Structure 1
């Protein structure tokens, strides 16, 4: 049994935690949401890198054996520095443009992500490795994260904004859509309401958790082996831990009642 930290700017990383609890329910988790500062996608790269490093150090100091940087923006801006500073595995997330390119039938792929992710060196370096015969329609989803954070993922307001963001992707004839922010899987219902089944949706939650599982297997040792079916989940928020817990219960498919669950506020950290 390991203690795993899952960090995001807000509730988006709950999509990763949900998959982790499905595949690896026996471990203990700390879910850290920096909701007081969400969204990260509209902040400077320097601020994102500094803040993400501080919060990942907090998780390491709390005893985490591995950390999932469950935020595309933080991964793009900060994962290199975080890995250099910490002595534990740090698993990042990035838009699934490679699997999207492989699955697309017509070679036109829409990428819905934050402005910071789309402009990042990491994203564009990944893009440069892919075949030229696939065209990527990049669209920043400005305004979507705050709506999801406010519990309005299925609202008419979110539907209207999403329709505007999807318009250039649809006009280009995309048959595949990359959900390039961990918040965006919570828009699946709204996307299907707008598009039906006419487009293939790609998110990387499963791939991220499989990578986490590989890292945990490398760390496995006799002194960490404990027989239990379901571990604990501690929800930590920089804004309102009760709201975070309620959002987790509303958004996640996992049965949190199977785990020992608690919530707490993030104290002052340096």
Structure 2
């Protein structure tokens, strides 16, 4: 069983690590579309083109489920991908609904890229699930770029985060939603910055659980021609991530080494595979 995951860069590896936690033997094919990073600077047309190309590439590689592990791309192109590929497709979105449900103060914060913060998908989530809760959406321009460069701690990162969070936290916000998969690598520094009683939510675990559910459901309904899932994946199989990079592979290797040295949770057994440039 293989699943495909793609993102504009390394952020979606946080989702891949969560998938490995719930499906320990799954084979993951991952594409980091670094030649087009950051997606926030791309037009809607380019985002749809990349989404379709990357998703179809993973299906052609034999992946039986595709995860669009990018909030910007999910907002811009998820429905196009679902209409185009012949396998289940999972997107990511800020965890507004569970945050509102869990919040005691009924005030939550969403950290997001500029594109996601201004997009219709987040607006719909807030409209449909906030009810009487207050939702403070904080655009964080440049933060994903810092993570993509391997910068997940230090005074610059801390200052950027707290300069935005200080106001809502002082006003009683008790939930911080991470609206970009890159931000999952900032959990440790956020835990240091935020006061006790403030909870951090990201999309990695819910997406991983959704992937597991869909694969089990597909096997039970015989919509995928695969052996029983628990026999084929989770009993003794060795998990790995087959990683393609559309930009410069050496840069990504260096960033992953940097993240690993700083304690970031990365997937097990990342194997790089050649990918044609700017395809």
Task: Please tell me whether residue 79 in structure 1 is matched to residue 91 in structure 2.
Answer: no
Matched-pair contact (CA < 8 Å) for 1:242–1:263: no
Change (3 A) 1:115 1:210: same
Task: Name the counterpart of 1:63.
Answer: 62
Deviations 1:198-223 (A, max 9, x none): 41111121111111011111332696
Task: Name the counterpart of 2:249.
Answer: 241
Matched-pair contact (CA < 8 Å) for 2:107–2:173: yes
Q: Which deviates the most, 143-152 or 232-241?
A: 232-241
Task: Name the counterpart of 2:272.
Answer: 263
Deviation, 1:171, is: 4.2
Deviation, 1:132, is: 2.9
Change (3 A) 1:223 1:50: closer
Matched-pair contact (CA < 8 Å) for 2:97–2:130: no
Structure 1 length as normaliser, TM-score? 0.90
Task: Please tell me whether residue 47 in structure 1 is matched to residue 46 in structure 2.
Answer: yes
Task: Please tell me whether residue 224 in structure 1 is matched to residue 218 in structure 2.
Answer: no
Task: Name the counterpart of 2:131.
Answer: 132
| Counterpart Cα distance in 2 of 1:69 and 1:41 | 15
| Counterpart Cα distance in 2 of 1:25 and 1:247 | 24
Number of equivalent positions: 266
| Counterpart Cα distance in 2 of 1:224 and 1:35 | 32
Task: Name the counterpart of 1:159.
Answer: 158
Deviation, 1:29, is: 0.8
Change (3 A) 1:269 1:244: closer
Q: Which deviates the most, 190-199 or 54-63?
A: 190-199
Q: Which deviates the most, 14-23 or 232-241?
A: 232-241
Deviation, 1:170, is: 2.4
Deviation, 1:252, is: 4.9
Matched-pair contact (CA < 8 Å) for 2:17–2:266: yes
| Counterpart Cα distance in 2 of 1:55 and 1:88 | 14
| 3-state SS of 1:12 partner | coil
| 3-state SS of 1:234 partner | strand
Matched-pair contact (CA < 8 Å) for 2:32–2:246: yes
Deviation, 1:150, is: 0.6
Deviation, 1:254, is: 5.6
Which runs of structure 2 are paired with 1:55-204 in the superposition (5 Å)?
55-204=54-203
Change (3 A) 1:190 1:231: closer
| Counterpart Cα distance in 1 of 2:162 and 2:44 | 28
Change (3 A) 1:254 1:152: closer
Unaligned runs of 5+ in 2: none
